[in-house]
Amino acid sequence: MFFNRTLIRHYHKQRPHKPTKALLRKRIPFVTDLKDIQSPDEALALFHDYCETGGFKHDYPSYSSLIYKLARRRNYEAVETLLQQLQHYNVKCKEALFIGLIQHYGKSGLPDKAIELFRKMPSFDCYRSLQSLNTILNTLLENGRFNDADEMFKSCSKMGFRPNAVTFNIMIKGWLAKGEWDEARKVFDEMHEREVEPTVVTYNCQIGFWSKRGKFSEAKTLFDEMIRKGKKPNAISYALLMECLCSQEKFKEAKKMMFDMEYQGCKTRLVNYGILMNDLAKRGNFNEANSLLLEMKKRRIKPDVVMYNILINYLCKESKAGEAYKILVEMQVDGFKPNAATYRMIVDGFCRNGEFDEGLKVLNAMMMSNHCARVETFCCLVVGLIKNGKMEDGLFVMEEMVKRQMCPDLGSWEALVASTCGEDKNGHVIVTDLVSSS
């Protein structure tokens, strides 16, 4: 659903960073210079330039910083070369480097590389903790390698690992994501057999499995079991049940559950209001949705950008881009900065309504805020503006595309040619100039 994963991510607020010893250390020249470089080739060149400097020797911070930068750019050939150098020069490595690389391999769809690196870690004189195991299991499951993950999970003892609650949770989530309830329950049963205490997350992922399938009775049974076992439900636990009730058109019951949760000692969070907001907006009850926002403010629960985006999303879908724009203004008055998604939805909404002048105004505000629209949005604006006789505005949008290294589609060029050649025989010159500049 539009709101679910985003709100749950926002629920876990990041704690402020405390000063660490690492921050107090003397800055390393190479690492400092590397921060300003984006190109992988330039980064490697800088690395070699420092090598040629008399008396300078790269250590772990230098290698790890460069490896992270190369991995983000998916230059894994260079990463492999640097890993070989780490071994050759016996550079003592930290586990964090390999955990980060395993995650990068996973995001790049290279699970075999992730497995290979996990197995090689001891050859770098690096201790593998449960965090490494949990990372590789999660990576394998995210890449659909259930059998490999299951085999590795079953081999934990042979590798010297004693799985913890996080390990079991990863496996349970993996099987549930595949729709394998029986397999997930086997892992849950094994958790009890090994005397590993289930956590709220253990129950929540199972409650979520049934909630997303509209099986409220099964979800509630697990919820009650969690309480009996002495585990206190959190805001996510209630949100999952509320989502299930809303899917069954039981909004009032979901709202009652949200207010009842505080009597059970669980504080209402944004994720709970988000469930209600999404349901109201989805059903077109925008007045009620606005009332819910006011209710939140009265209860001193501050909405966030995601909450506003829920309203904006459905208003635009209902061809009410003008009302969505009012929400955008309200956000800013309340001290919230719209994000890229906020602007994109409204610009696209105006374009769908044929209100290209309004769309251009929002696009300008978007670019002023250092956000960028999609290529499709730019092209739609170009065609709409030109066809409505706004040649200058259409050209402006095309120029902005070129600045961002975006290529206008055929429809944009055709609209420009049709408009210019209809009135100006030299119109083709403008098109030629734009094509050559892009």
Please tell me the least confidently modeled range out of 20-29, 73-82, 85-94, 261-270.
Answer: 20-29
pTM metric for this prediction: 0.80
Mean pLDDT of 390-419: 77
Contacts of 404 (CB under 8 A, 6+ apart): 372
Residues in the chain: 438
Confidence of residue 11 (pLDDT cuts 50, 70, 90): very low
DSSP class per residue in 289-302:
HHHHHHHHHHTT--
- Give the residue with greater pLDDT, 416 vs 282: 282
Tens digit of each residue's pLDDT (9 = 90 or more) over 333-390 = 988 899 999 999 999 999 999 999 999 999 999 999 999 888 889 888 988 898 888 9
How far apart CA 210 and CA 216 sit, in angstroms, is 7
Nearest to 140 by CA among 165, 164, 166, 175: 175
Confidence of residue 431 (pLDDT cuts 50, 70, 90): low
Alpha helices in 194-285 (DSSP H): 200-211, 216-228, 235-247, 251-263, 270-282
DSSP class per residue in 118-187:
HHHGGGGT----HHHHHHHHHHHHHTT-HHHHHHHHHTTTTTT----HHHHHHHHHHHHHTT-HHHHHHH
Please tell me the least confidently modeled range out of 45-49, 200-204, 293-297.
Answer: 45-49
Mean pLDDT of 71-96: 89
Residue 148 pLDDT > 80 = yes
Residue 202 pLDDT > 60 = yes
Mean pLDDT of 200-216: 96
Average pLDDT, the chain: 85
Residue 212 pLDDT > 50 = yes
Asked if 143 contacts 111 with a C-beta cutoff of 8 angstroms, the reply is yes
